[in-house]
């Protein structure tokens, strides 16, 4: 079953074509990677999918329903959660409080929200720091908090926007293990990432965005060999090699 | 995380002391000062639902005080309706007006929101000052409305002494404190804080930020208007300058910012500190230096913002918790 269908989506900002005719299907239970150089339009595409702004043209279907007109909070309640590339913790509050905000998407009862939040923190091994102020966390913990809050909404599809940027190699390995664990529990994951080692290890399929257009799609092995991808990343001179 | 018995005890003691105070304080002047102190603590606590939890700075709450005062007074003078009923009629109208003001203004941020709320409130005041009749209702423009003290008693919300007023506002304050405490722990409370701190992140987590703010605004203006009726029945004379003036809105904001926005104790602490300053400076310097209290407020506000930007409640709460821990033999962990 297709969890997410992106059909010929364009997004223009004035005269700038941030995303041009992008199509992609995300199958249930898959980890799909989205890569591309800086400014390729990856985050713009995520914002369209998450309902932050509508696509200029084209349509997005989530769990069989067209998402036109749905706002981020509507999509969240239908099972779509996301993290932000630039983390946005509720800085003055505790880690537990932050995660409970997400948990309230599925329940109005405080005790139930707290139980769900603790469950997520347990899973991400963050229980030790549950009472820490979110604004005082290290960058690695802030990235994990982004994921924890999103998970607390109990999503079917999780959009991860560069959750590994700025992490040390051991922390990246840990994050890869966490994300694989999520997939194994039945979640579908769509992930933007710059760290090649991580995206190659994680993804079942990868799509490559370059100047707003999809230039390649395939398994990690296919992408690693693709001529156009190598050119896009390393420049024309390396393409012939 | 219910407060343990040890932590509840001081609250109970404070409540008992507050209820017993009129037995000790017999001077009408001091009782009057205490009543205004509780009134402002009540107003600021109501304001706190929007100004504290939702993280915006409304500066037009005087309009809701006025709407409450005028509604119950008009209903009682012209139609003989008990102020107790008029109180809730005024609150409902204020809630509707609050939502109408909130709809366009919550899209603005920071100072723009504050300015827009001032504009709405001032607009309402100027309107009341310049018309004698609003439809069938007599409002007498700048001359305002006088409530003739004919029938006293609880049913008429009118008393010859100050004690009954003291107890009414004390009960109102206790109720609104309990209500905000409950809201701060509820889904709405979490959503308000989240939407106030990081609206984009909150929306991605399922929070309809605008709707949460409007709900808070409706409740806040409803509660504020209830105090307007109290004000009218307490002073028995209302006019736009008294119950709709910008000074009220500013004093509420001063109390909240100095006491600590977004906390339960902040508004009460702020009122405890600032109300005596404003009353005593008026008593002793009213002739020579009118407005002195505002200068003092300004200085205190600058100092608090520099050294305790989250208000005085933060160091005081820390001190209180340490004392509690010591009293309970260090067994309780820090929350």
Q: Are B68 and B229 in contact (CB under 8 A)?
A: yes
Chain A closest CA to B208's CA: distance in Å?
6
Candidates B190, B198, B208; nearest CB to A73: B208
Sort residue A54 into left (φ over 0), alpha (ψ -120 to 50) or beta: beta
Residue carrying the six token digits 């040890």: B6
Residue carrying the six token digits 């966490």: A178
From start to end of B95-220, where are the E strands? 133-134, 137-138, 145-146
Asked if the model's pLDDT at residue B2 lies above 60, the reply is no
At B243-264, the pLDDT tens digits run 999 999 999 999 999 999 989 9
Chain B closest CA to A96's CA: distance in Å?
11
CA distances for B11 relative to B4, B7, B17, angstroms: 11, 7, 10
- From B43, B53, B41, B46, select the one nearest B261 (Cα to Cα): B53
At B25-82, the pLDDT tens digits run 888 899 999 999 999 999 999 999 999 999 899 999 999 999 999 999 999 999 999 9
Q: What is the pLDDT of residue A236?
A: 67
Contact B190 A97 (CB under 8 A): yes
Q: What is the chain B residue with the closest CA to A105? A: B206
DSSP helix/strand/coil, B54: coil
Asked if the model's pLDDT at residue B120 lies above 80, the reply is yes
Going by pLDDT thresholds of 50, 70 and 90, the confidence category of residue B108 is confident
Paired tokens of A229: 């991808």
Q: Identify from B204, B211, B213 which residue to disrupt to test chain A contact, counting A C-beta atoms within 10 A and taking the largest count.
A: B204
At B266-315, the pLDDT tens digits run 999 999 999 998 888 888 887 888 788 888 888 999 999 899 888 898 88
Candidates A50, A104, A150; nearest CB to B187: A104
At B168-183, the pLDDT tens digits run 999 999 999 999 999 9
Measure the CA–CA gap between B207 and B278, rounded to whole angstroms: 40
The pTM (predicted TM-score) of the whole model is 0.90
Domain with CATH 3.40.50.300 in chain A: 2-79+156-239
Candidates A84, A97, A105; nearest CB to B201: A84
Q: Which fold has domain A2-79+156-239?
A: Rossmann fold (3.40.50)
Give the residue-averaged pLDDT of A5-10.
95
At A10-43, the pLDDT tens digits run 999 988 899 999 999 999 999 999 998 888 899 9
Measure the CA–CA gap between A117 and A148, rounded to whole angstroms: 8
Contact B205 A101 (CB under 8 A): yes
Half-sphere exposure of B69 (CA within 13 A, CB side): 31
At B200-240, the pLDDT tens digits run 999 999 999 999 999 999 999 999 999 999 999 999 999 99
Contact A76 B191 (CB under 8 A): no
Q: What is the pLDDT of residue B334?
A: 45
- From A115, A85, A84, A86, select the one nearest A99 (Cα to Cα): A115
Asked if the model's pLDDT at residue A237 lies above 70, the reply is no
Give the residue-averaged pLDDT of A92-116.
96
Asked if the model's pLDDT at residue B140 lies above 60, the reply is yes
Contact A101 B204 (CB under 8 A): no
Q: What is the pLDDT of residue B1?
A: 42
Supply the DSSP string of chain A, one letter for each residue.
-EEEEEEEEEEEETTEEEEEEEEEEEETT-EEEEE-STTSSHHHHHHHHTTSS--SEEEEEETTEE-TT--HHHHHHTTEEE--SS----TTSBHHHHHHHHHTTS-S-HHHHHHHHHHHHHHTT-GGGTTSBGGG--HHHHHHHHHHHHHHT--SEEEEESTTTT--HHHHHHHHHHHHHHHHTT-EEEEE-S-HHHHHHH-SEEEEEETTEEEEEE-HHHHHH-HHHHHHHH-HHHHT-
User: Which of B:146-175 have CB within 8 Å of A?
Assistant: none
Contact B198 A89 (CB under 8 A): yes
For residue A71, the chain B residues in CB contact (below 8 A) are 203, 208
Contact B201 A88 (CB under 8 A): yes
Q: What is the pLDDT of residue A219?
A: 93
Candidates B185, B202, B208; nearest CB to A101: B202
Paired tokens of A61: 């279907």
ipTM of the complex: 0.91
Contact A77 B206 (CB under 8 A): yes
Q: Are B109 and B199 in contact (CB under 8 A)?
A: no
Phi, psi of B330 (to 5 degrees): 70, 15
Q: Identify from B181, B182, B192, B205 which residue to disrupt to test chain A contact, counting A C-beta atoms within 10 A and taking the largest count.
A: B205
At A167-189, the pLDDT tens digits run 899 999 999 999 999 999 999 99
Contact A101 B200 (CB under 8 A): no
Measure the CA–CA gap between A219 and A228, rounded to whole angstroms: 15
Paired tokens of B333: 């962990």
């Amino acid at each position: 079953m297709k969890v997410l269908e992106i059909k010929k989506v364009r997004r223009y900002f004035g005269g700038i074509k941030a995303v041009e005719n992008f199509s992609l299907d995300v199958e249930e239970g898959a980890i799909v990677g989205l890569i591309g150089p800086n400014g390729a339009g990856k985050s713009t595409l995520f914002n369209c999918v998450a309902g932050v702004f509508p696509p200029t043209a084209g349509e997005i279907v989530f769990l069989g329903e067209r998402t036109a007109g749905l706002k981020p909070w509507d999509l969240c309640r239908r099972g779509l959660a996301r993290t932000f590339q630039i983390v946005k913790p509720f800085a003055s509050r505790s880690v537990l409080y932050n995660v409970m905000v997400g948990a309230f998407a599925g329940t109005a009862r405080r005790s139930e929200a707290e139980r769900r939040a603790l469950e997520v923190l347990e899973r991400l091994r963050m229980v030790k720091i549950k009472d820490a102020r979110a604004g005082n966390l290290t960058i690695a913990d802030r990235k994990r908090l982004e994921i924890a809050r999103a998970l607390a909404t109990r999503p079917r599809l999780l959009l991860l926007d560069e959750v590994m940027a700025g992490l040390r190699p051991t922390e990246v390995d840990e994050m890869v293990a966490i994300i694989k664990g999520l997939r194994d529990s039945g979640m579908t994951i769509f992930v933007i990432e710059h760290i090649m080692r991580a995206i190659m290890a994680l993804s079942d399929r990868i799509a490559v965005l370059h100047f707003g257009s999809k230039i390649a799609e395939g398994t990690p092995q296919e992408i690693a060999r693709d001529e156009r991808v190598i050119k896009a990343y390393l420049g024309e001179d390396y393409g012939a090699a | 995380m219910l407060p343990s018995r040890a932590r509840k005890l001081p609250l109970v003691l404070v409540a008992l002391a507050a209820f017993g105070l009129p037995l000790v304080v017999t001077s009408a002047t001091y009782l009057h000062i205490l009543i205004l102190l509780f009134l402002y603590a009540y107003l600021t606590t109501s304001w706190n639902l929007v100004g504290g939890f939702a993280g915006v700075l409304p500066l037009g709450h005087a309009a809701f005080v006025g709407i409450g005062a005028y509604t119950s007074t008009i209903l009682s003078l012209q139609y003989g309706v008990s102020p107790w009923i008029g109180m809730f009629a005024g609150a409902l109208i204020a809630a509707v007006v609050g939502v109408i003001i909130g709809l366009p203004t919550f899209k603005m941020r920071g100072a723009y929101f504050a300015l827009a709320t001032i504009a709405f409130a001032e607009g309402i005041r100027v309107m009341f000052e310049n018309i004698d009749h609003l439809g069938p209702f007599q409002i007498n423009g700048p001359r305002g409305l006088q409530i003739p003290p004919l029938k006293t008693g609880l049913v008429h919300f009118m008393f010859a002494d100050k004690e009954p007023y003291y107890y009414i506002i004390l009960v109102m304050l206790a109720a609104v404190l309990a209500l905000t405490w409950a809201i701060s722990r509820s889904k709405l409370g979490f959503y308000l804080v989240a939407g106030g701190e990081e609206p984009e992140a909150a929306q991605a987590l399922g929070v309809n930020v605008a709707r949460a703010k409007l709900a808070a605004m409706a409740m806040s203006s409803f509660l504020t208007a209830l105090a307007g009726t109290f004000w009218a029945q307490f002073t028995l004379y209302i006019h736009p300058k008294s119950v709709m003036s910008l000074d009220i809105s500013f004093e509420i904001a001063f109390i909240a910012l100095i006491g600590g926005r977004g906390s339960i104790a902040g508004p009460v602490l702020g009122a405890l500190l600032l109300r005596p300053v404003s009353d005593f400076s008026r008593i002793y310097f009213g002739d020579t230096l009118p407005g002195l209290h505002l200068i003092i407020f300004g200085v205190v506000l600058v100092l608090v913002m520099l050294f305790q930007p989250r208000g005085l409640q933060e160091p005081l709460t820390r001190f209180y918790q340490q004392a509690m821990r010591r009293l309970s033999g260090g067994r309780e962990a820090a929350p």
